Amino acid sequence: MPVSAHAEGGNPFTDTPDEVTAAAEEFERRGPVAAWLTDLQRHVNVRLTELMRELQRDGSNRVLFTVLIAGFLYGMIHALLPGHRKTLLFSYFLAQDARVAHGVIAGVSLGILHAASATGIILVAYYVLRAGLQATLGNATAIMNDVTAWLVVALGALLLGLKIREALSGHEHSHGHAHGHAHSHGHGHEPEGDRQDHPHDREGSGGRTLPLIIVSGIVPCPGSALVMVFAITLGMVQLGVLTVTAISLGMAVVLSVLSVITIVLRANVLRLVEGRFGHIAHVGLELFGALFLLAFGLFLLIPGWGV
Partner 1 sequence: MRRAPGVVVLLVIALLAGGAAATAYGHPHVFIDGRVAFEFSRGELATIEVEWRFDELFSSMIQNDYDRNRNGRFDRQEIDEVERGAFSNLKYFNYFTYLVVDGERIPTEEVQDFRVDHRDGRMRYRFRIPVSAGLERARTVQVMLYDETYFTDIALLREYASVRGTVPATYEISTQPMEAFSYSYGPATFVPEAIQLTYEVRR
Indicate which single residue of 2, 53, 65, 184 sits in contact with partner 1 (rule: CB under 8 A).
Answer: 53
Distance in Å, CB of 53 to partner 1, minimum = 7
Amino acid at 134: Q
Cβ-contact 106, 255 below 8 angstroms: yes
- Taking the CA atoms of residue 59, residue 38, residue 112 and residue 238 in that order, the dihedral angle to the nearest 10 degrees is -20
Distance in Å, CB of 186 to partner 1, minimum = 25
Question: CA angle 187-192-194, nearest 5°?
Answer: 110
Distance in Å, CB of 132 to partner 1, minimum = 5
> Distance between CA 178 and CA 115 in Å, rounded?
44
Report 93-122 residues binding partner 1 (CB under 8 A).
Answer: 94
> Distance between CA 66 and CA 104 in Å, rounded?
26
83 in contact with partner 1 (CB under 8 A)? yes
Binding segment (CB under 8 A) for partner 1, from list 29-37, 65-73, 140-148, 165-173:
29-37
Mark residues 258-277: x for contact with partner 1 by CB under 8 A, - for none.
Answer: ----x--x---x-xxxxx-x
217's CB contacts (< 8 A; 6+ apart) are: 85, 109, 110, 111, 112, 113, 114, 117
Indicate which single residue of 51, 70, 71, 90 sits in contact with partner 1 (rule: CB under 8 A).
Answer: 90
> Distance between CA 55 and CA 62 in Å, rounded?
9
188 in contact with partner 1 (CB under 8 A)? no
> Distance between CA 284 and CA 167 in Å, rounded?
10
Maximum distance among all alpha carbons in the chain?
74
* Cβ-based nearer residue to partner 1, 162 or 227: 227
Binding segment (CB under 8 A) for partner 1, from list 39-47, 167-175, 177-185, 247-255:
39-47
Instruction: Specify the DSSP element, H or E, that contains 198.
Output: none
189 in contact with partner 1 (CB under 8 A)? no
> Distance between CA 206 and CA 95 in Å, rounded?
9
Residues near partner 1, by CB under 8 A: 7, 10-17, 20-21, 24, 26-32, 34-35, 38-39, 41-42, 45-46, 49, 53, 78, 81-84, 86-87, 90-91, 94, 126, 132-135, 222-223, 225-227, 229-230, 232-233, 262, 265, 269, 271-275, 277, 281, 284-285, 288, 292, 296, 299, 307
